[in-house]
Structure 1
Amino acid sequence: MQFGNEIKKIRKSKGFTLRQAALQSKVNPGYLSRLENGKQNLPKVETLERLAKGLRISKEEMFKLAGLEVSKPTNIEQISSNFINIPIIGEIACGEPITAEQNISGYLPVPADVVKNGNCFILNCVGNSMEPTVSNGSQVVIREQPDAENGQIAAILLEDENTATLKRIKKTKTSVILLPDNPEYEPIILNEDKRGRILGIAKMEMKRF
């Protein structure tokens, strides 16, 4: 509702009618009306960009209004020298627990302090979306849990792709936004149209040299 109110304020301050703003943004007037009145889910990134262009504001300002910014507290802990073997997750089998045998491609010794609370697994980080925080090619220890706090780095299973991704969590009333640390990448919005679930939160990055 707050996002819709802000969109309406901007539109009126620019002197645009709802139909003008919709035409300039290349969206349906009915859609824009529902959005302004809080009856529509948070738009996709592509739609936010069109709205920004139609309302004559920057993409960055529109993303900020939509809550696609989050503080970045660290959830990486200092560790000791005792080690435990932790499973490395390869391809994820549909419908199976993340640490099911068919998902495990190997094991890696990890400091015991990292895994003292709960079950953990390791994901190989592929890509640059979380740089500079998490490097391409590094391995990240994930503690299994079904939820995460705003700003925490988490592993999320994208159900339509059956793959896991590493992103920061930002929750709204109608969706969960997966934010990359690298500004060159766009956020992913999970809602009724695109589903996913949190597998766990990042506890430690293990860089490869």
Structure 2
Amino acid sequence: MKTNREVVELVKKLTEEQNMSMSELSRRVGIAKSAISRYFNGTRELPLNKIGDFASVLHTTPDYLLGIEYEPPTPQGLKIPVLGTVAAGIPISAVEDILDYEEVPQSWESQGEFFALKIKGDSMEPKIDDGDVVIVRQQSDANSGDTVIALVNGDDATCKKLQKTENGIMLVSTNPNYLPMFFTNEEIVTKPVVILGKVVELRSKF
């Protein structure tokens, strides 16, 4: 917060910038010109109860004149559940196997529904390790090259790279010890193979 002298100097500066004479300032604020002169030369302090009048006339705010700064409120993020398993036929929102919660930006709220999944196994090493958490946007399709969460034959959800072909799709591990899983267009329907969402962020655990 500014001292009285600093407030007066700011009032003087704004008055000059707005090409306002002391007489005009006196008339608009409703204070005698002689009193304003004493404020300006430092022989009298500017009363705090007059700050609002000066602020209004000078097209600013009392807080600005006084140098009061407020910390902007910290935006609250969205809490999304970290799931351990996802079973076939159960909507994500109904899964009760919640291990924890992760926070994502509030701005994501307009981009769809999100959940997090704790990774099991080493098939996506070296980038994604056992125990890491991935943030997933729920969607039933994705592009080739996307990392997705998929359900195969009703088993637990698996994290893989998606590759599309004319005849079907491949779910590819980044760990070379695991062979790609290929599914024909027919198998996608009959097994079934269901994409639950696209991985949009990795949160490694140390």
CA contact (8 A) 1:114 1:203 kept: no
State how far apart, in whole Å, the 2-side matches of 1:115 and 1:138 are.
23
State how far apart, in whole Å, the 2-side matches of 1:136 and 1:98 are.
22
Aligned to 2:130: 136
Aligned to 2:39: none
Aligned to 1:90: 84
TM-score (norm 1): 0.55
State how far apart, in whole Å, the 2-side matches of 1:169 and 1:156 are.
9
Q: Are 1:166 and 2:163 an aligned pair?
A: no
CA contact (8 A) 1:89 1:99 kept: no
- The superposition leaves residues 80-117 of structure 1 with CA deviations (integer Å, 9 ceiling, x where unpaired) of x8532111122324411122143434322234455651
1:47-86 map, 5 Å: 83-86=77-80
TM-score (norm 2): 0.56
Q: Are 1:179 and 2:176 an aligned pair?
A: no
Q: 1:146 to 1:100 in 2, by over 3 A?
A: same
Query: 3-state SS of the aligned residue for 2:157?
Result: strand
State how far apart, in whole Å, the 2-side matches of 1:153 and 1:104 are.
22
CA contact (8 A) 1:82 1:113 kept: no
Aligned to 2:197: 200
Q: Are 1:190 and 2:190 an aligned pair?
A: no
CA contact (8 A) 1:83 1:112 kept: yes
How many percent of aligned residue pairs carry the same amino acid?
34
CA RMSD, Structure 1 to Structure 2 (Å):
2.1
State how far apart, in whole Å, the 2-side matches of 1:184 and 1:115 are.
38
CA contact (8 A) 1:140 1:203 kept: yes
Query: 3-state SS of the aligned residue for 1:182?
Result: coil
CA contact (8 A) 1:154 1:201 kept: yes
- Greater shift, 142-151 or 168-177, is seen at 168-177
Q: Which runs of 5+ in 2 are unaligned?
A: 1-74
CA contact (8 A) 1:114 1:204 kept: no
State how far apart, in whole Å, the 1-side matches of 2:95 and 2:85 are.
11
CA contact (8 A) 2:80 2:101 kept: yes
1:127, distance to aligned residue in structure 2 (A): 1.5
Query: 3-state SS of the aligned residue for 1:102?
Result: coil
Q: How many residues of Structure 1 are paired with residues of Structure 2 in the alignment? A: 128
State how far apart, in whole Å, the 2-side matches of 1:182 and 1:93 are.
24
Q: 1:199 to 1:137 in 2, by over 3 A?
A: same
1:195, distance to aligned residue in structure 2 (A): 2.8
Q: Which amino acid aligns with 2:159?
A: L
> Greater Rg, structure 1 or structure 2?
2
CA contact (8 A) 2:85 2:117 kept: no
1:173, distance to aligned residue in structure 2 (A): 1.8
